[in-house]
């Protein structure tokens, strides 16, 4: 089968012909219909410090997809050939203290599809049935593919009360843009999108941002105070990972606010804990993955009901063979979600 393979410890990837994976008793084989490029894949592609310490080439990477089951292991009960599925990308152990208490998303032994195991930038992918999510039959394949990152947005935004609150989304990559749509759907009174990239701010506007602020042109902290009667925002969703933006986030949040961090800053970030967290009584949350499978249910229903329309965010489709075009756009930030079609 065709697959985009992280072929060596260095920049880039290669289209190769590799064996179709064989399945274990508790796994299914899926024919991939659509797969999308994630920021994580860009880290692996560009071979940054994180990926140098994490991944072991050669292997096919990629983790966001939708597809059809074509083979089912002996022990699989709830899925059949022909089922239209996507998948939770965290492979969890089921036996650590977190898993034992239902907190699978923070399993101590998490492995990630396409990072630690063979991924879905390929014609077929083999996965444990316990990770699958059945899609509504009429959900478009590109929309179904981006449910996993949308789950990150949903998990971040909905980790506290939203209705009637003012929300700042810092960092409008695809997940930040989806977070805008989710905050809007959840009843936020204002959704303020902040980024340095006008193209992506425009996409945030299409998903329902009430104000877009380019932090390289306008002082974002002052702008947010002006928009909130001098109070600051109730909720900050940090999706940028940039130390300056994070500091600005703590400056623009109101006393008693919620600061939810999904981003992965590449280095430790200095914080003014005394003034910006303790005296302000701010709640800081780390957000990882998606709650299994509560978040998937929320994502599926938000999409099916039309409460969040992600179509404007899906800006490019390429055949799998043209993966380089997709990665170039992602690296330049001149796209929303990029879909590859095997």
Residues with a catalytic annotation lie at 40, 43
Stretch that binds Zn ion, among 94-102, 131-139, 186-194, 255-263 (CB under 5 A): 94-102
Cβ at position 335, least distance to Zn ion in Å: 15
Candidates 1, 15, 93, 139; binder of Zn ion (CB under 5 A) is 93
Q: CA–CA distance from 94 to each of 16, 25, 49, 102, 128 (Å)? A: 34, 17, 30, 9, 13
Nearest 5°: the CA angle 162, 166, 167 is: 75
Cβ at position 76, least distance to Zn ion in Å: 21
Q: Are 172 and 204 in contact (CB under 8 A)?
A: yes
Cβ at position 37, least distance to Zn ion in Å: 9
Stretch that binds Zn ion, among 72-80, 96-104, 136-144, 186-194 (CB under 5 A): 96-104
Under the binding rule (CB under 5 A), the answer on residue 125 touching Zn ion is no
Of the pair 15, 112, the CB lying nearest Zn ion is at 112
Candidates 85, 87, 99, 129; binder of Zn ion (CB under 5 A) is 99
Of the pair 44, 99, the CB lying nearest Zn ion is at 99
Under the binding rule (CB under 5 A), the answer on residue 44 touching Zn ion is no
Under the binding rule (CB under 5 A), the answer on residue 42 touching Zn ion is no
Under the binding rule (CB under 5 A), the answer on residue 38 touching Zn ion is yes
Rounded distance, CA 294 to CA 155, Å?
9
Of the pair 93, 284, the CB lying nearest Zn ion is at 93
Q: For the chain, where are the alpha helices, taking DSSP H only?
A: 39-46, 49-54, 97-100, 141-145, 147-157, 174-185, 198-206, 220-227, 243-252, 294-304, 323-332
Cβ at position 225, least distance to Zn ion in Å: 34
**Hey, what are 176's tokens?**
């930040």
Of the pair 47, 250, the CB lying nearest Zn ion is at 47
Tell me the HSE value of 202 on the side-chain side, using a 13 A CA sphere.
9
Under the binding rule (CB under 5 A), the answer on residue 106 touching Zn ion is no
Instruction: List beta partners, residue 194.
Output: 170, 213
Cβ at position 188, least distance to Zn ion in Å: 24
Q: Are 56 and 44 in contact (CB under 8 A)?
A: no
Q: How many residues bind Zn ion (CB under 5 A)?
A: 8
Binding mask 145-174 for Zn ion (x = CB under 5 A): ----x-------------------------
**Hey, what are 110's tokens?**
């998490």
Cβ at position 294, least distance to Zn ion in Å: 17
Candidates 20, 42, 96, 271; binder of Zn ion (CB under 5 A) is 96
Cβ at position 175, least distance to Zn ion in Å: 8
Nearest CA-CA partner of 286 in 265, 267, 252, 263: 263
Polymer length of the chain: 342
Stretch that binds Zn ion, among 100-108, 224-232, 298-306, 320-328 (CB under 5 A): 100-108
Under the binding rule (CB under 5 A), the answer on residue 107 touching Zn ion is yes
Counting beta carbons within 10 angstroms of the beta carbon of residue 225, is it exposed (0 to 12), middle (13 to 18) or buried (19 or more)? Answer: middle
Stretch that binds Zn ion, among 105-113, 247-255, 264-272, 297-305 (CB under 5 A): 105-113
**Hey, what are 63's tokens?**
């983790």
Under the binding rule (CB under 5 A), the answer on residue 139 touching Zn ion is no
Q: Are 224 and 200 in contact (CB under 8 A)?
A: no
Q: Encode 156-167: b = buried (16+ Cβ within 10 Å), e = exposed.
A: bbbbeebeebbb
Q: Is the peptide bond before 58 cis (omega within 30 degrees of 0)?
A: yes
Of the pair 117, 190, the CB lying nearest Zn ion is at 117
List residues near Zn ion by CB under 5 A: 38, 92-93, 96, 99, 107, 109, 149
């Amino acid at each position: 089968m065709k697959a985009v393979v992280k072929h060596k410890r260095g920049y880039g990837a290669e289209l190769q012909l590799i064996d179709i994976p064989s399945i274990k008793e508790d796994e299914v084989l899926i024919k991939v219909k659509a797969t999308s490029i994630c920021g994580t894949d860009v880290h692996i592609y560009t071979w940054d410090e994180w990926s140098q310490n994490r991944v072991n080439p050669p292997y096919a990477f990629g983790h966001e997809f939708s597809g059809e089951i074509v083979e089912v292991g002996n022990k699989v009960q709830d899925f059949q050939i022909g089922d239209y599925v996507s998948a939770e990308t965290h492979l969890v152990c089921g036996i650590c203290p977190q898993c034992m208490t239902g907190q699978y998303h923070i399993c101590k032994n998490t492995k990630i599809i396409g990072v630690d195991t063979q991924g879905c930038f390929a014609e077929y992918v083999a996965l444990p049935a316990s990770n699958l999510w059945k899609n509504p039959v009429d959900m478009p394949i590109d929309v179904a593919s981006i449910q996993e990152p949308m789950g990150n947005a949903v998990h971040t935004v909905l980790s506290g009360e939203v209705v009637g609150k003012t929300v700042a989304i810092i960092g409008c990559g695809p997940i930040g843009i989806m977070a805008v749509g989710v905050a809007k759907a959840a009843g936020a009174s204002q959704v303020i999108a902040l980024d340095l990239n006008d193209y992506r701010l425009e996409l945030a506007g299409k998903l329902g941002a009430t104000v877009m602020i380019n932090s390289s042109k306008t002082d974002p902290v002052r702008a947010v105070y002006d928009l909130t009667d001098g109070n600051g925002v109730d909720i900050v969703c940090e999706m940028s990972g940039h130390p300056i933006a994070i500091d600005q986030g703590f400056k623009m949040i109101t006393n008693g606010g919620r600061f939810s961090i999904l981003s992965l800053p590449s280095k430790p970030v200095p914080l003014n804990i005394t003034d910006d967290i303790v005296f302000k009584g701010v709640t800081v949350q780390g957000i990882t993955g998606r709650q299994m499978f509560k978040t998937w249910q929320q994502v599926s229903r938000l999409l099916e009901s039309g409460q969040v329309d992600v179509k404007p965010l899906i800006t490019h489709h390429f055949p799998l063979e043209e993966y380089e075009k997709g990665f170039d756009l992602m690296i330049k930030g001149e796209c929303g979600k990029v879909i590859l079609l095997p």
